[in-house]
Amino acid sequence: MTELFQDPERARAWCAAVRAGGRSLGFLPTMGALHAGHVSLVRAALEQNDAVCVSVFVNPLQFDDRRDFDRYPRDFEGDARTLSAAGASMVFTGTLAQFFPDASPVAGAGMLDPGPRAAGLEGDLRPGHFAGVATIVARLFELVRPDRAYFGQKDFQQTLVVRDLSRALGYPRIVVCPTVRESSGLAMSSRNQLLSAAEREAATVLFRSLEAARAAWRRGVRDARALSDAMRAVLARSAVAVEYAAVRDPEKWTAGEPAGPLDHAVALVAARLASVRLIDNALLDGR
């Protein structure tokens, strides 16, 4: 049985009781409309912790685009069923006012600084996005006080930002889980629900562009520009509007394109299709 709370304070009390009982607690923050990618995070958390708690909150602080926020899929009851079937111990949600009872943060006031790795790519294209992510994730960590928190590699730059946040807070341990894909290669995403079957097929070009970068890496290409050119060559033959196709060193994150040959590389892509914004990435050096 998955406990269900519509009130963050009750969730806080439940988590405190778990910890007081000496049980370890795994946590994954989500925005709901849960799919197999989220379920893989629940499974990983269940393997490593005595109890697993999930938050479902479409966080307005991290949306730079009002229309994207308004049409983001929401299905709390369906999510509760998915989490019950997956074996999660507790799921909670709340409103912005419940999460921040003193004063809701707004752009420029009460938002956390997401740190240097928020610069570049997603940080440039979605101003304020990572400040909104860091602000809610820090608040959720404070409520839950998990031993471990689980994030998907799908949101690669977000994993860098939350690692920096956990380092600053001194907890929790961050576990990054691989991206779960459709058999077509398309990375699972709640936003895929907004695409028609034909658009989902067209969206596989993101994955194919990452595969092209991987193939170039295997051929010995180590230059960021040459690797991203291989991605753009694939994307150019498609219906998607590319926001970026880029390669970075995942360990020495730089806002701009790294110069010189790379030892480690992550290829990242963002594109719009039918006004739905999609992102994906792949580590190229086989890890």
β-bridge mates for residue 266, sequence order: 248, 283
DSSP 47: H
**Which parts of 71-100 interact with ligand AMP (CB under 6 A)?**
none
**Binding piece for ligand AMP, criterion CB under 6 A, among 47-55, 95-103, 177-185, 204-212:** 177-185
Task: State the DSSP string of 203-251.
Answer: HHHHHHHHHHHHHHHHTT---HHHHHHHHHHHHTTSS-EEEEEEEE-SS
Of 69, 2, 81, 67, the closest CA to residue 34 belongs to: 81
129 counts as catalytic:
no
Largest CA distance in the chain: 57
**Binding piece for ligand AMP, criterion CB under 6 A, among 37-45, 73-81, 206-214, 221-229:** 37-45
Residue with tokens 């990983």: 44
Q: Which two tokens stand for residue 164?
A: 């920096």
Pairwise CA distance, residues 281 & 203, whole Å:
14
Q: Which is nearer to ligand AMP, 171 or 233 (CB)?
A: 171
180 binds ligand AMP (CB under 6 A): yes
DSSP 107: T
41 binds ligand AMP (CB under 6 A): yes
Sign of the CA dihedral running 233, 234, 238, 244: negative
209 binds ligand AMP (CB under 6 A): no
Q: Which is nearer to ligand AMP, 182 or 199 (CB)?
A: 182
Q: Which residues contact 211 (CB under 8 A, 6 or more apart)?
A: 185, 282
30 binds ligand AMP (CB under 6 A): yes
**Binding piece for ligand AMP, criterion CB under 6 A, among 6-14, 67-75, 180-188, 198-206:** 180-188
204 binds ligand AMP (CB under 6 A): no
Q: Which is nearer to ligand AMP, 75 or 229 (CB)?
A: 75
Give least dist CB 258 to ligand AMP, A: 24
Rule CB under 6 A: choose which of 55, 135, 157, 179 binds ligand AMP.
179
Pairwise CA distance, residues 111 & 104, whole Å:
9
Rule CB under 6 A: choose which of 37, 94, 120, 146 binds ligand AMP.
37
Q: Which two tokens stand for residue 68?
A: 């994207």
Rule CB under 6 A: choose which of 189, 192, 204, 281 binds ligand AMP.
189
Q: Which is nearer to ligand AMP, 120 or 152 (CB)?
A: 152
Q: Which is nearer to ligand AMP, 151 or 253 (CB)?
A: 151
Q: Which residues contact 254 (CB under 8 A, 6 or more apart)?
A: 120, 248
DSSP 139: H
Rule CB under 6 A: choose which of 154, 195, 206, 240 binds ligand AMP.
154
Which chain residues interact with ligand AMP by CB under 6 A? 30-31, 37-38, 40-41, 151-152, 154-155, 177, 179-180, 187-190
Residues carrying an active site annotation = 38
